Amino acid sequence: MRSENHAGTPGRRTRRSLPLLVGAGAVSVSVAVLGLTLIDAPDGQDRGPLAGASADADSAWAAGPPATAARVPWEGGPAYYGRFAAPTAAGWTKSSFFPVGVWFESVITQGDVDKDRAAGINTYVELTETSDMALVRRNGMSALTRTPLPGYGNETVGWLLNDEVDMWAKAGDAQWTGKHPGEGSLCVPEDRGCGFTVLRTRKEEVPKGDGRMHYANYGKGVMMWERDADAATFVNRFTDVVSSDVYWYTSASVCLDGQNFLSLPASRCRRAANYGAVLDRQRELDALDGRRQPIYGFVEVGWPAENDTRAIRPEQVTGAVMSSLIHEARGIIYFNHNFGGPCHSQHVLREGCGKEVRPAVAEINRRIGQLAPVLNTQSYAHRFGPGLDTMLKHHQGSYYVFAMLDATTSPGRRIFTLPRGLRAAHAEVLFENRTVPVDAQGRFTDSFAAEHSHHIYRITP
């Protein structure tokens, strides 16, 4: 990322609305949390318990989700990639594959790949020109790159069109000079945006008809600065896979931007829940053209920018990843660079700069890999209770509840209420070697010690 952490004052609007799904339930009241107006699920479908379903249908949950159970809209999961020959050949259509990427690495030696794979990375999102693509390919890794790199082949599943063009070129169809930030004038005339032109140009530059996806990453332009119509153009017109990066835990300017553009109180700025809200915003925009695409979560693993004043903590990384997953991220990408702080690195997860955060990243990625067949199913809509942010899945006879606190509440105990008719003696808390009892009314209670705390429950009727 070039500029995510740099404050901007584009002057396009002073406030905007960003969707926030509290407790995975649909409400329609205005609050000053990330903004904003809490709304229905990104395409208007209720995420509350079984909208439109009867009590008789509810009782069928014990035998499996009722046919009338409300679903969270999606693009199709792994089957989505089946429309592209390259990711299909690379195994992306398998339910066991969930993209976990690292931003702008170099792959020179087998040791490079070994370290990345040990951390749970399976995809490179941009690589240096010196990278050995045959080495990437032999190790079963995937790549999305800006241009065809020497020796590229079936490891390259897509083309990166651009990074944060919404921030440095802004929305618009003005002429692009071909230059990037720091190289001179970007747009002609200079007072107009040329971001749409940049992306059209890039789509013309990459190979055509080769069965590879087109991907772009955006930033605060799409998330905060641009009008909804322009933000939707960025998200919908150019890509097959999309992401946006906002580094809520580390950016020196993000809390001020959150106040100015989202009416987000400073006390609610540095929270894991805001990474999920980034996904919600993109899903809302993505739904507008009736053609959904996978949206990936973006999380920093160090001290991204020179002017930042902090590094992300290990527990914050895992909280940000879990919030992204709960809000329907179809992949995770890690920003792997320290441009600030006492330990500069372009390979945080490989080098000593990442010694504190790497174990947490490797563990959350291990869990993602283990639960990939679950994550790759379409979610069910259910409101488990106030103060909760949840995702409900069903796989091979068991229900899975991914849970965190929502953005509005403080740490503490929460009560979960299962769908009517779903009963079990207990809920297994995965990766924690414990269970919690479920009472006769289908309720259980658990504690969340911090805003980034999360639990995954498996419930087998």
Cα(439)–Cα(449) distance, rounded to whole angstroms? 23
DSSP state of 263: -
Instruction: Answer yes or no: are the C-beta atoms of 436 and 446 closer than 8 Å.
Output: yes
Q: The tokens of 296 are what? A: 């990936």
Distance CA 251, CA 269 (A): 10
Sheet with 388-395, side-by-side order of all strands:
388-395, 398-405, 454-459, 426-429, 434-437
398-405 and 388-395: which strand pairing? antiparallel
Looking up tokens 């002429």, which residue turns up? 175
CA atoms within 13 A on the CB side of 411: 10
Q: 300 forms bridges with which residues in the sheet?
A: 335
Between CA 296 and CA 273 the distance in angstroms is: 15
Instruction: Walk along the chain (461 residues) and give the pLDDT tens digit of each residue.
Output: 433 344 444 444 445 544 443 333 333 333 333 333 333 333 333 333 333 333 344 557 988 999 999 999 999 999 999 999 999 999 999 999 999 999 999 999 999 999 999 999 999 999 999 999 999 999 999 999 999 999 999 999 999 999 999 999 999 999 999 999 999 999 999 999 999 999 999 999 999 999 999 999 999 999 999 999 999 999 999 999 999 999 999 999 999 999 999 999 999 999 999 999 999 999 999 999 999 999 999 999 999 999 999 999 999 999 999 999 999 999 999 999 999 999 999 999 999 999 999 999 999 999 999 999 999 999 999 999 999 999 999 999 999 999 999 998 999 999 999 999 899 999 999 999 999 999 999 999 999 999 999 999 999 99
Q: How far apart are CA 80 and CA 52, in angstroms?
A: 28
Residue 389's closest CA among 136, 6, 98, 27?
A: 27
The model's pTM: 0.90
Say how far apart CA 76 and CA 330 lie, in whole Å. Answer: 10
Q: Is 32 helix (H, G, I), strand (E, B) or coil?
A: coil
Look up residue 61 and give its two tokens. 């949950």
